[in-house]
Structure 1
Amino acid sequence: MTSLRSRVLAVSRPVSLTLAGALLLLDLAVILYGVFMRYLAGGAPIWTDELARFLIIGSVMLAAGAVWVEGGHMRVALIERLLPRPLSRLLNLYQWLLTLALAVAGTLVSYRYAQSVGMFTTSGLGISRSVPLMSLPVGFALLAWHALWYGPAPLRTVEEDAA
């Protein structure tokens, strides 16, 4: 099971990070286009600001699960190191279950919300609000996916990566 788990994470992490990076690159292009149009061409279209906002939210949500697995998010692991080994394992199990529960709940709630605002359109792009809001349930689902496959193991820390 461990090899399957590591293989699944070895595939899904780079895919998530690549998609997030592509959205971030697209976001940079939209922002540069907006700046060019605003300051050099005399006026930027209204959709550039809105699209840039949606793209940055989408890229963060796509990368959240992969970053969680890498231990690259901001957290303090002092308590884990100070506790005896059995209590540390219990704390890791609690953190894992809490992350999984919050990610699944975030997926369900944000999906319902994204579907409930489908009749409204965005002001700049003129598309259904459900389209950009779907990045939230997709991102939470990817976080749940990565957390589920990672399991209740201790998360990596900066010190472990440096060694």
Structure 2
Amino acid sequence: MSSLNARVLGASRRVSLSVASTLLLIDLAIILYGVFMRYLAGGAPIWTDELARYLIIGSVLLAAGAVWVEGGHMRVALIERLLPVSLRRLLNLYQWLLTLAIAIAAAIFSYRYAQSVSMFTSQGLGISRTVPMMAMPIGFALLAWQALWYGPAPLKELSEMAETEEAS
């Protein structure tokens, strides 16, 4: 992987994981506020459950690309290990192209869907449903972006990630 690719992926990874982590922390605070209000104050506002749900979906989708590049997602790499090198490269190219195609298609379709629900408002927050639904196309676009910069190289495995972290 070239140094430009590594720098772009590193910056993209840091930004997406930072934003996802921030959303997750806000989600935790909202959930704790809702629990406090429900069990100690006598009643929680309706918006806490809805906002917590939107925040968890947003954080997962924003982190998906970085997790894919790191090889931290759930997958079984047994076939890759058993194949000869030439077939392994072909399989890596296929996986990369499939990931790009699915991520780009999902970004386009989820963007269209998010725009189509703009006339509806959420029950608890009273905002257009487009606002929380935009996490889907943004997350899938980030996955496509990071996969594109990663290229058709073999995905890292957990043992490789541990070695990389120990070296740095």
* Fold equivalence (TM over 0.5): yes
Secondary structure of the residue aligned to 2:156 is coil
- Residues 1-163 of structure 1 correspond to what in structure 2 (within 5 A)? 2-163=2-163
For residue 44 of structure 1, what is the amino acid of its counterpart? A
Q: State the distance in 2 between where 1:123 and 1:137 align.
A: 22
Q: State the distance in 1 between where 2:82 and 2:110 align.
A: 37
Q: State the distance in 1 between where 2:162 and 2:100 align.
A: 28
In the alignment, structure 1 segments of 5+ residues that lack a partner are none
C-alpha contact 2:70 2:161 (8 A) present in aligned 1: no
Task: Tell me the TM-score normalized by structure 1.
Answer: 0.98
Secondary structure of the residue aligned to 2:94 is helix
Secondary structure of the residue aligned to 2:125 is coil
Q: State the distance in 1 between where 2:111 and 2:101 align.
A: 15
Secondary structure of the residue aligned to 1:152 is coil
Residues 8-66 of structure 1: CA deviation (Å, up to 9, x unaligned): 01111011000000000000000000000000000000000000000000000000000
Residues 57-79 of structure 1: CA deviation (Å, up to 9, x unaligned): 00000000000000000000110
Q: State the distance in 1 between where 2:162 and 2:17 align.
A: 21
Q: How many residues align?
A: 163
In the alignment, structure 2 segments of 5+ residues that lack a partner are 164-168
Q: State the distance in 1 between where 2:161 and 2:144 align.
A: 23
Q: State the distance in 2 between where 1:21 and 1:159 align.
A: 24
Q: CA RMSD in A?
A: 0.9
Residues 80-137 of structure 1: CA deviation (Å, up to 9, x unaligned): 0100000000000000000000000000000000000000000000000000000000
Q: State the distance in 2 between where 1:71 and 1:162 align.
A: 11
For residue 120 of structure 2, what is the amino acid of its counterpart? F
Q: State the distance in 2 between where 1:69 and 1:100 align.
A: 12
Tell me the residue number matched to 2:166.
none
Q: State the distance in 1 between where 2:87 and 2:160 align.
A: 20
For residue 137 of structure 1, what is the amino acid of its counterpart? P
For residue 90 of structure 1, what is the amino acid of its counterpart? L
Bigger CA drift: 86-95 or 2-11?
2-11
Deviation at 1:158, TM superposition (A): 1.6
Task: Tell me the TM-score normalized by structure 2.
Answer: 0.95
For residue 65 of structure 2, what is the amino acid of its counterpart? G
